[in-house]
Amino acid sequence: MATVVILAFKEADRAPLVDPLKAAGHRVVVLEPKDPDFRLALRGLEAVDAVVVDLSVKGASGRECASWITEQKRYRNVPVLLTGVPDGEEDVTKVKVPFGRRVSAAHIDKAVAHALTPAGRKTGSQPQF
């Protein structure tokens, strides 16, 4: 069982992300991408195996949080998956979070499962977008 952190605002529809991951047996921790709250909550977790960031609502805040996570030594090998990237914001997302992987919310369980495999983790240190 992996610990998966989901960063999504309350205004976003979290169920399509949370439900499949829980059904797959993962421990899911949902946080709002608000600084410094999410940082403090992340630091309070013993282990984080993957982070999913929903950019469909207030994408700029989500990008900032994802960027911070990828810059931290503790989370360097943790896959950061980006979902809900609005049309027209692909380039700015790629610049802000070059190590994030864009995934479909409809297949989040498969994306997380792949990211947790050795092959999926291998690409974590290279720009993905």
**Of the candidates 12, 118, 21, which has an alpha carbon nearest to the alpha carbon of residue 57?**
12
Whether 125 shows a pLDDT value over 60: the answer reads no
Whether 123 shows a pLDDT value over 80: the answer reads no
Asked whether the beta carbons of 83 and 103 are under 8 A apart, the reply is yes
| pLDDT tens digits along 107-117 | 999 999 999 99
Average pLDDT, the chain: 92
Asked whether the beta carbons of 88 and 119 are under 8 A apart, the reply is no
Tell me the β-bridge partners of 109. none
Q: What is the pTM of this model?
A: 0.91
In CATH terms, the superfamily for domain 3-124 is Response regulator (3.40.50.2300)
